[in-house]
């Protein structure tokens, strides 16, 4: 009976799955300027040298939280959201573990305007509203379920603390039957996000 209940639960949680959508999309999608090209080339050289394989990201503290998206990218976050050109907040890899690209983030706690950084046109940044990500692991089989999230407001209203998100809050909210099901949990604060491909991508290496 317990095995049946666990299987039913793991099927049901898929109804919570989804990707938090950009609140504000890019307003500029033109070809890279010379300054942007210089940034891209610098990031490519650096990240491909330091994080060519997913194992390099994991050793540096990045944790997986998504399944492959429609581009084949699997995302890993370091849970540090004030990025700089050598410290992306996210890295993403293909199914073979090869680096595809990175996200650079700037927190937006007080409705700050689009960043004007690193020679990048401010219109290239996306905004994401705050949400808590978590990964479910079946304690019986070890099967992992990615792409789980809950809006920050709902998490807080359920008694959660965004600075120290706890699996116990997910239990209270009915997202998991027990805290032991949660392999990873972290807050993804409201932020401006710059998407950068380190491999060729159309129409530009700043596009989704």
What is the rounded average pLDDT of the residues 162-186?
A: 97
Cβ proximity of 36 and 79 under 8 Å? no
Residue 84, token pair as written in the block: 């700089």
Task: Write down the pTM of the prediction.
Answer: 0.88
What are the beta bridge partners of residue 149? 133
123 dihedral zone (left: phi>0; alpha: psi -120 to 50; beta): alpha
pLDDT, one tens digit per residue, over 24-64 is 899 999 999 999 999 999 999 999 999 999 999 999 999 99
State what percent of residues in the chain have pLDDT above 90: 83
Specify the pLDDT at position 204: 87
pLDDT at 23: 66
| Boundaries of every domain in the chain | 29-128+193-208, 131-188
């Amino acid at each position: 009976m317990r095995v049946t209940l666990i299987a039913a639960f793991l099927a049901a949680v898929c109804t919570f799955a989804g990707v938090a959508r950009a609140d504000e999309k890019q307003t500029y999608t033109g070809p890279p300027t010379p300054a942007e090209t210089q940034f891209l080339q610098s990031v490519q050289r650096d990240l491909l040298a330091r994080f060519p394989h997913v194992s390099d990201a994991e050793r540096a503290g990045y944790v997986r939280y998504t399944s492959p998206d429609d581009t084949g990218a699997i995302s890993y976050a370091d849970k540090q959201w004030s990025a700089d050109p050598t410290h992306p907040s996210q890295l993403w890899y293909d199914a073979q573990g090869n680096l595809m690209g990175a996200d650079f983030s700037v927190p937006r706690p007080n409705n700050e305007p689009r960043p004007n950084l690193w020679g990048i046109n401010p219109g290239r940044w996306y905004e994401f509203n705050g949400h808590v990500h978590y990964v479910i692991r079946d304690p019986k089989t070890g099967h992992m379920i990615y792409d789980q999230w809950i809006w920050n407001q709902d998490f807080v209203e359920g008694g959660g603390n965004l600075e120290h998100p706890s699996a116990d809050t997910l239990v209270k909210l009915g997202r998991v039957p027990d805290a032991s099901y949660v392999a990873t949990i972290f807050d993804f604060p409201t932020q401006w996000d710059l998407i950068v491909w380190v491999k060729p991508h159309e129409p530009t290496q700043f596009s989704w």
